[in-house]
Structure 1
């Protein structure tokens, strides 16, 4: 994968992570009642940070032949974690969850497709 695509994915990921971190819907900020208010947002930010680190690790190791399996595993784990969050939160309010979780979910899907698509190209270049 070219350095230009890796750079573009990294910048896009940082922008989507910033949006997801700072623009959490009020619904998630007030969930939990008076005693646990904001705990949902705290857990979302925690898993957002995990997904961000996994995606950055995936993007940076995609061109390394020795660490390519790490890119595959981290991108898949990140997609599964964020998809699980989407499914859990869309149960109560589908529209709010869709608006919030979709940008990173879409970018996760693109990264997974690129990582697994790049796998075939690496095998072809090794066979030639």
Structure 2
């Protein structure tokens, strides 16, 4: 496997760090928004079952978003580990360089588009459905 050039490594490092900062900023904002709403809503009681259901739905949605953020941060940590090992930016499947446009969209991507498509393809081959 080839190594990252100094220039490409610098660009990809900044890309990863920028994305990680953005994710942490989102998590922090969502957390403070939620804490602030909870403190404010301690004195607001739902008037009926419909309002209670809506509050439960909103809380569940918030938990799902928090889980997605946690997964993204875990993938970013894995990408940072690959960067420190010198394997970031190279496909885990075929070993070829991952296109920088792909890494801008998904900085934590471990595979090139071709290999990721194969990973996500139908398990029984093309055209076979259950």
Q: TM-score of the superposition, structure 1-length normalised?
A: 0.39
Higher helix share: 1
For the pair shown, the structure with the greater C-alpha radius of gyration is 2
Q: TM-score of the superposition, structure 2-length normalised?
A: 0.39
